[in-house]
A and B are shown apart, each in its own frame.
Chain A
Amino acid sequence: MQRRELLKMIMAATGVAMVGNSAFAYVLKSPVPLTDTVFNQGDVDLFNDIAERILPRTDTPGAKDANVGLMALILANDCYSKTERDAFIVGFNSINTQCQARFGKGFSSLSISEQNAFLQDLGQAASVYNKKQDLYYLSTAPFDKNRDSTDPTPHYFTLIKQLTIFTFFTSKVGATEALRYEAIPGKYNGELDYKKGDRAWAT
């Protein structure tokens, strides 16, 4: 059944025209203002620059196109436990300092290859750090950890990666342009043909 017909059915059945309201008129903004967090626009820009290297624009939009920095920092501010938040902030704030020491300029001013080299090393350090703490399984979703768990907090670069991946693929840009999305599937096909390269469903 076509969506248009469905909408007609809903209206006929209920006298309510509810689909097509503002829920579909997406605007790329967050109801949580950045000023309600400990972060500022400079932090958002830095996060976006790092995230763009993690999930760069290719033939589909990248992290910066989805402005993941804003939501990532809102989530780090509001949804992390205190321990996670502290670990994230200390680590995140150290990035420009490290880049200054190594390249004489901040992360955002580095060339792409310098950025990649820096993140490569940071990724190595994260891997060593996480293994030392027996953290082998690390989800790309930052919030599925059992809240009562006493597992140590992963390396801050792992947190940055998790936040990037989560906020990108749950953004409208990431879900509908990098992945496949259908608001009203209407039916279930459990034997859909698939060929390598076809994109996954967003949800």
Chain B
Amino acid sequence: MANNHYDAIVVGSGISGGWAAKELAEKGLKVLMLERGRNIEHIKDYTNAFYEAWDYPHRGIATEQMRQENPILAREYTLNEMTAGMWATHKDHPYTEVKRFDWFRGYHVGGRSLLWGRQSYRWNAEDFTANQREGVAVDWPIRYDDLAPWYDYVEKFAGIAGTKEGLDVLPDGQFLPPVPLNIVEKDVAKRIEKAFKGTRHMIHSRTANITQPMPEQNRVGCQYRNKCWLGCPFGGYFSTQSSTLPAAMSTGNLTVRPFSIVTQVLYDKNTKRARGVEVLDAETNQTYEYTSKIVFVNASSLNSTWILMNSATDIWEGGLGSSSGELGHNVMDHHLSVGASGEVEGYDDKYYSGRRPCGFYIPRFRNWGGEKRDYLRGFGYQGSASRGNWQNNVAELGFGADLKQALTEPGGWSIGMTGFGEILPNHLNKVTLDKTKKDKWGLPVLSMDAELQENEVRMRKDMMQDAMDILTAAGVKNVHGWNNDSPIGKGIHEMGTARMGRDPRSSVLNAFNQVWDAPNVFVTDGACMTSASCVNPSLTYMALTARAASYAVEELKKGNL
């Protein structure tokens, strides 16, 4: 069928899929974007965007029935009335846990770009060389300088608020004005600077919330409501809907097809190229073929790998890209749920107004500048300072007018922060196809077999102790630390399983994210990551995607694909 052919197919509509669609469509390609879930229209479908607690049947809290029905979402903040329906459910989308794996997915147009935490940091130069220097996994096939211009490019369009700090460990970028720190954070930052003689820094979060309107994108800007996860009618944060999708649509070159589960990349063994994809319509269960010159796989890390595993199995039993022996291996995430908090004395005459979408950031300082710990790599912290409110402990306050008065006033200041640590790529940490279990479409599910290894466990000791030491050094009182379970997936930063590399015998993708065994197939979401850094990964996916898309179009023009 003629209308089933496009220049490019993009599988997935989240952060990286949106970028792929925009870049390819703007360069003149006719693009089909396939999304497995339903459509969500910008603004119109953000039905809860103006709701407050009192607008929800249970004030926003998950009911016991919701918890029983969604035991995996109930493990985290992911289960509540505000975002009900946005996170994919285990019931409809099961997977197998050989080891506990928290997998939180957004199956709708926009994917997790509507639900993400928006923290946006560049990788540093060492993040790209550490594997090689330390003999871990394989070397990245690219360096920071390869990606730097693409960071510039995506930051300007996405809109990243932040400050230039001149730190090698956290390269500066193209920033909008920062989301302000409050007075306590500013003072604590100064005390940290002094106590650690300029080796540790508390800086503004870098966040994909726009602090200046972007009229060219119809984005009004952040209104400091802190309701980002509900979809923002003001276009205050970067999402597919607010940014890349309208840009792609305005070219007239993009077609979006929701309810389209891509079941495999169709591989032509004569040309050694993909010729398109097979789609299962999630509503009708009909199967369709769509053909194209190039395919961008941006289905989210583990789902992109799932698609590859189900593709070209007549040639390679383990699927497209499995000839490397690494497809499905080296699952990474960031480990967290470790940090510290305490109370800040004074500042009783200061408060704040507005609800920020972020707080402060402390960039990595361990194993940096010649230091050597008993583990590799490092971690950063995210946190904030605030005054207490009615939710604080007042168990002893009795009842009556005094209690009410106490609860209606802000309490003392406290400050807390949580670590985000790097997880090393490890062949042992893997996902495989579980063919014994099928979802409601009869498709095999993924089986997760990954856990923190020694390096991460050792790092976590520092992550807690350093957090306590930093706060204590800054004069924070009653500091207490925590170090709780951090199963893989909990960070919602799944990475790896189809890594980039320099050698087809040990990597799935080359330096431009092309599958070695099918060069017109590009994987530019988290699956491609060769290592994980300790900074939030989405900005890097954006940059890698824009770079790969530019390369793909050039190669198409040259007739190489």
Residues of A in contact with B (beta carbons under 8 Å apart)? 6, 9-10, 13-14, 16, 18-19, 21, 23-24, 26, 30-32, 53-56, 58, 60, 62, 71, 74-75, 78-82, 116, 119-120, 123, 127, 130, 136-141, 143-144, 147, 158, 161, 165-167, 169-172, 175, 178-179, 181-201, 203
Pick from B50, B234, B392, B410: contact of A140, CB under 8 Å: B392
Is the Cβ of A186 less than 8 Å from the Cβ of B58? no
Q: A23-B50, A74-B58, A200-B387 are in contact. Are A182 and B393 (CB under 8 A)?
A: no
Q: Does B505 contact A (CB under 8 A)?
A: no
Distance A130 CA – B396 CA, assembled complex (angstroms)? 11
Q: Nearest-CB distance from B159 to chain A (Å)?
A: 15
Q: A19-B50, A53-B400, A143-B61 are in contact. Are A190 and B180 (CB under 8 A)?
A: yes
Q: A161-B399, A185-B353 are in contact. Are A62 and B404 (CB under 8 A)?
A: yes
Q: Does B53 contact A (CB under 8 A)?
A: yes
Residues of chain A with a CB closer than 8 A to B220's CB: 6, 9-10, 13
Q: Does B52 contact A (CB under 8 A)?
A: yes
Is the Cβ of B398 less than 8 Å from the Cβ of A189? no
Q: A16-B43, A23-B55, A71-B59 are in contact. Are A203 and B67 (CB under 8 A)?
A: no
Q: Nearest-CB distance from B386 to chain A (Å)?
A: 10
Is the Cβ of B355 less than 8 Å from the Cβ of A203? yes
Q: Does B92 contact A (CB under 8 A)?
A: no
Q: A123-B399, A188-B356, A200-B409 are in contact. Are A194 and B393 (CB under 8 A)?
A: no
Is the Cβ of B352 less than 8 Å from the Cβ of A191? yes
Nearest B residue to A14 by beta-carbon distance?
A: B43
Is the Cβ of B59 less than 8 Å from the Cβ of A130? no
Is the Cβ of A193 less than 8 Å from the Cβ of B404? no
Distance A170 CA – B351 CA, assembled complex (angstroms)? 21
Q: Does B391 contact A (CB under 8 A)?
A: yes
What would 26 A/B residue contacts be, using CB atoms closer than 8 Å?
A6-B223, A10-B220, A13-B235, A14-B218, A14-B233, A21-B50, A53-B400, A54-B400, A55-B407, A80-B64, A116-B400, A130-B395, A139-B392, A140-B392, A143-B61, A161-B399, A170-B60, A185-B224, A186-B224, A188-B224, A193-B350, A194-B351, A194-B410, A200-B389, A201-B353, A203-B355
Pick from B58, B179, B213, B356: contact of A78, CB under 8 Å: B58
Q: Does B69 contact A (CB under 8 A)?
A: no
Residues of chain B with a CB closer than 8 A to A166's CB: 59
Q: Produce 1/0 per residue, B239-269, CB < 8 A to A.
A: 0000000000000000000000000000000
Q: Nearest-CB distance from B542 to chain A (Å)?
A: 23
Is the Cβ of A138 less than 8 Å from the Cβ of B393? yes
Is the Cβ of A140 less than 8 Å from the Cβ of B390? yes
Q: Nearest-CB distance from B223 to chain A (Å)?
A: 5
Nearest B residue to A190 by beta-carbon distance?
A: B182
The residues in B between 330 and 355 inclusive whose CB is less than 8 angstroms from any CB of A are 348-355
Most buried by B among A23, A58, A190: A190
Q: Produce 1/0 per residue, B394-427, CB < 8 A to A.
A: 1110111101110111110000000000000000
Q: A30-B57, A186-B223, A187-B354 are in contact. Are A200 and B393 (CB under 8 A)?
A: no
Distance A203 CA – B53 CA, assembled complex (angstroms)? 9
Residues of chain B with a CB closer than 8 A to A167's CB: 59
Distance A54 CA – B406 CA, assembled complex (angstroms)? 12
Residues of chain A with a CB closer than 8 A to B59's CB: 71, 75, 166-167, 170
Pick from B185, B353, B387: contact of A189, CB under 8 Å: B353
Distance A32 CA – B62 CA, assembled complex (angstroms)? 14
Is the Cβ of A192 less than 8 Å from the Cβ of B400? no
Is the Cβ of A200 less than 8 Å from the Cβ of B399? no
Is the Cβ of B393 less than 8 Å from the Cβ of A139? yes
Q: A141-B391, A158-B395, A194-B410 are in contact. Are A188 and B61 (CB under 8 A)?
A: no
Is the Cβ of B408 less than 8 Å from the Cβ of A60? yes
Is the Cβ of A56 less than 8 Å from the Cβ of B401? yes
